[in-house]
């Protein structure tokens, strides 16, 4: 074989290998997108369930305080549950919007940026819901007791205030742990499908390399 023929063969082989590498990278990107879309779809189902719960709390709490406008402590119970329901709705809707904004037709760097933004939003939302949830059991319990014709505030206001104080201590403790151990809380908040999405960010870096 002549030298120029050998050089031509090597160039052809190099071009073929380069083309195969491009095709392999595209295939890996497509597989990554399909896997991550499935995980985000499961995360969307979780947020849809949260919307349903938030709507239930908002309607229930709103109806309760409206029906007891003449009784201040019952209005307070209802307003608390109503506000918590709105918080559940708002955080779930914000996350759903960001989930919908993850477009795999964009460059890899843009996809990664949106997934990181989604992660940060999720952690912030979980902080709010955890702290509020540490107190929210108190009005829910008082409303439940009222259903069995036991008005704890009228019988013993200190019972209500004591439980509220316990809830506030729990909320303060949760806030302290979040502040002292942000990495631990971030990992806990991202459990489930979104944790899988977070792990896929490493794959994105590999694809970019």
pTM, to two decimals: 0.75
Tens digit of pLDDT at every position of the chain (209 positions): 455 555 565 566 556 655 655 544 554 555 555 556 666 667 677 788 899 999 999 999 999 999 999 899 999 999 999 999 999 999 999 988 888 877 766 666 777 777 778 888 888 898 999 999 999 999 999 999 999 999 999 999 999 999 999 999 999 999 999 888 888 888 777 766 666 665 665 555 555 55
The structure tokens 């942000």 sit at 182
How far apart (Å, rounded) are the C-alpha atoms in residues 32 and 189? 23
Find the domain containing 45 and state its range. Answer: 3-208
Q: Which of 60, 58, 59, 65 is nearest to 83 (CA)?
A: 58
DSSP character at residue 105: T
Give the chain's domain count: 1
């Amino acid at each position: 074989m002549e030298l120029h023929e050998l050089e031509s063969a090597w160039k052809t082989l190099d071009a073929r290998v380069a083309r195969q590498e491009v095709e392999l990278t595209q295939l890996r990107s497509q597989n990554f997108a399909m896997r991550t879309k499935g995980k985000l779809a499961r995360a969307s189902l979780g947020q849809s369930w949260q919307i349903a719960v938030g709507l239930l709390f908002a309607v229930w709490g709103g109806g309760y305080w409206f029906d007891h406008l003449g009784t201040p402590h019952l209005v307070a119970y209802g307003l608390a549950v109503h506000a918590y329901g709105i918080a559940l709705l708002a955080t779930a809707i914000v996350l759903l919007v960001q989930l919908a904004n993850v477009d795999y037709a964009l460059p890899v760097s843009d996809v990664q940026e949106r997934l990181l933004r989604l992660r940060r939003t999720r952690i912030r939302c979980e902080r709010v819901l955890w702290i509020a949830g540490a107190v929210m059991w108190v009005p829910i319990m008082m409303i439940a007791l009222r259903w069995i014709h036991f008005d704890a505030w009228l019988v013993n206001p200190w019972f209500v205030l004591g439980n509220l104080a316990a809830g506030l201590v729990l909320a303060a403790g949760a806030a302290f742990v979040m502040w002292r151990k942000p990495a631990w809380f971030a990992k806990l908040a991202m459990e489930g499908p979104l944790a899988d999405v977070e792990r896929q960010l490493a794959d994105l870096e590999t694809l970019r390399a």
